[in-house]
Amino acid sequence: MKILTKRRSALAILFLAALAAIAYLGKSTQFGFFSDDWYLLYGGVNYGAAQFWDIFIIDRPLRGILYFILYSVLKTNVGAYFYLSVLVRLAGALGLFLTLQLIWKERRAFCTVAAALFLVYPGFLEQPNGMDYMALQLTVVAMVFSLYLSIKYLETKKTAKLIYFMLASGLAFTSYLFMEYYVGAEAYRFLFLGFILWPAKGSLVTKAKRVLWQLCPFLVAPIAFVFWRLFFFTSQRSNTSTAFLYESLSASWLQSFAEIARRFIVDVSEVVLGAFVTPLAYMAARISATEFLIAVLLGLVSVALLLFYLRAEEPDALPDQPKTRKDMLTFALLGLAAALLCLVPINLAQREVTFPFFSRFSLASSVGVAIFLAGMASLQANRKLRAAMLATLLFLSVSIQYANNVRFSMEWTETQRFWQNMIWRAPDLQDGTTLTGFRTAPIYEGYFIWSPANLIYREPSDSTISLSAEVLNRDILRNIMLKAPYEKDQRSMIIRHDYNKLLLFSMPTTSSCLRLIDAAQIELSIYDDPLIALAAPYSSTSNILETDAIQYEMFTEVLRTSAVEENWCYFYQQAALARQFEDWERVAALAEAASAGGYAPYDPIEWMPFIQAYAYLGEDARAGELIALMSADPFYKLQACTIFEGKQASGNEAVDAGNRFLAAQFCGE
């Protein structure tokens, strides 16, 4: 019997491992650094692993120790961070399987299915971001194994009991130190342990007293953490500080609680239902039909694995009467209740679950949601209906996770392409240059740009952040217009923004090349964001230097792509650089090379450097061919007319003659 049990447990573990591979390894070789990875990467490369203590001392000190260890071992190996994060995620699922086995010893299939739904829960969409979200993954693992050890504490006598208690409390405290809002996950411990203890004989009052008495020791960890957080530690980050929480509530208690209630109600629907629908709807519109088909096929493969597993399990794996239907229903509802209670600390901090950008706040709740859904499925009397419910949930989860992998791989490809274009166009940048603009890969924080810019253009030993960046929005546009410099402390790293040295960029479509805007000759694309036009008069390409300061080894190490690649954008960027320094012969030569290679732009505005070069070299016929292509769009024709009609005499007869020719061509009927 023990051998059979071990074999079936091994089968469950293999099923979970296979499911993790199907859901997460697709596109894994096409992942890179994302979002908050960038400031972590910059801190590690420039200041060493010890910098992580300074980075996280402001809000979550234990994360500083974690990243000191991780970066000391893995350095900039982005693939290692990702694969480790998948193993950590799998460890959490196995921990949940083992925990549920302690409660439902004879219901292995239920335990496996709940662990599987947690493993691929589609509400958490940051798995490809292996570096930054490692702490969050470890938090969940610590929480799950803390719960496991708590149950072992109840089952064990004397000496071992104390060991289990200390380990469980230590892991709980660790999870809070990683992420303070995971104190809400204590709901799992108290509800599930209460479920285990409640069936003992006695009156309602007697049972309640006994349960509370046995659970009291587990209040030590959360109380100790809250006491430390309130009286001994002061968070310097607003969203994680108790002062921020108090101020947000004290302004208007009624309004504050109404807003908290609103966030809570919305988040409840998101973590239970929206997670299985909203992300798929979002990503289906953004990935190709081929990739969507692959997502569907992988979802079907996961369903086949599920059905194989259920068939291989004992015949009563999901019986009509699991333990008692009342017990399973109670346990499922307790899982849901715990999942909802996990949202309370998040909502109090004025955060909420949204897909796909703030999906991380759903991870603590995912344990309870998985238990609830698996439990409700197990209550269905019809085996086929049970299997269909579970298959649908697993299909949606795996399909969403693969589509999400595609989204991340596309973002990384566009990030690589952006920086390739940047080094082709700008071999060096003046100290103090402030970069801003739009590209196809999202930019939510300035360090998405200034971190790689400093890594690429400056020596790693240079401790000064000499190149800055900001997200272009209305507030930043106002600062640009005022040319108001300011300093920003980004987790112990000081960034100085000087809008007198603004360099505006635009890369509006996945087929466009990067354009660096110059106020002396503003060239706007029909695809540009309106803010580009408003910021353009303040941007200058004089911030671009001709000397080559690019750290090619660092570029390849961080961006994981070639610094040279022959395509249209390469020729365009080289031509734009040559035009900046009035090397018209080189621009014309690049035009010939691009033509010989069969390259042409997606966006006609990119013909402009070549049109000018041909006109200034007196090659009117060649210029005329490109003018006809660009003038096909009325906006470009009018824009070029305005540019060349407004050109002042330069003193160079060839250039002045070329400008007159261009004005006549673009402004004529």
Q: How many angstroms separate the CA atoms of 407 and 26, rounded?
A: 12
16-74: per-residue pLDDT in tens? Answer: 999 999 999 999 999 999 999 999 999 999 999 999 999 999 889 999 999 999 999 99
At residue 307 the predicted structure's pLDDT band, cuts being 50, 70 and 90, is very high
Q: How many angstroms separate the CA atoms of 464 and 421, rounded?
A: 25
Within a domain: 663: yes
Q: At 397, list the tokens.
A: 């989860």
Cis, peptide link before residue 609, omega less than 30° from 0: no
Q: Which of 376, 409, 442 is the last residue of a domain?
A: 409
Within a domain: 174: yes
Output the DSSP codes for 84-129. Answer: HHHHHHHHHHHHHHHHHHHH-TT-HHHHHHHHHHHHT-TT---TT-
350, 238 Cβ separation under 8 angstroms: no
Within a domain: 162: yes
Chain centroid to CA 245: how far? Answer: 26
**Nearby residues of 465 by Cβ (< 8 Å), 6 or more positions away:** 450, 454, 493, 494, 495, 496
554-574: per-residue pLDDT in tens? Answer: 999 999 999 989 999 999 999
Q: How many angstroms separate the CA atoms of 349 and 352, rounded?
A: 9
**How many other β-carbons are positioned within 10 Å of the β-carbon of residue 562?**
11
Work out how many domains the chain is built from and give that number: 2
Q: Give the Å distances, CA to CA, from 502 to 314, 434, 575.
A: 68, 5, 22
Q: How many angstroms separate the CA atoms of 484 and 461, rounded?
A: 29
187, 222 Cβ separation under 8 angstroms: no
In this predicted structure, the answer to whether residue 204 has a pLDDT above a threshold of 80 is no
Within a domain: 365: yes
Within a domain: 434: no
Q: Which of 409, 442, 464 is the last residue of a domain?
A: 409
592-616: per-residue pLDDT in tens? Answer: 999 999 999 999 999 999 999 999 9
DSSP state of 520: G
160-198: per-residue pLDDT in tens? Answer: 999 999 999 999 999 999 999 899 999 999 999 999 998
To the nearest 10 degrees (0 to 180), the angle between helices 653-667 and 620-631 is 40
The CA-CA-CA angle for residues 376, 379, 382, to 5°, reads 120
**How many other β-carbons are positioned within 10 Å of the β-carbon of residue 35?**
20
| Longest distance between any two alpha carbons in the chain, whole Å | 104
Q: How many angstroms separate the CA atoms of 353 and 97, rounded?
A: 26
Within a domain: 37: no
Within a domain: 348: yes
Within a domain: 49: no
**How many other β-carbons are positioned within 10 Å of the β-carbon of residue 255?**
10
Domain that holds residue 632: 566-669
Q: How many angstroms separate the CA atoms of 137 and 125, rounded?
A: 12
Q: What is the model's pLDDT at position 211?
A: 82
Q: Which of 386, 409, 432 is the last residue of a domain?
A: 409
Chain centroid to CA 583: how far? Answer: 42
Q: Residue 604: helix, strand or coil by DSSP?
A: helix
Q: Could you tell me the pTM of the whole model? A: 0.94
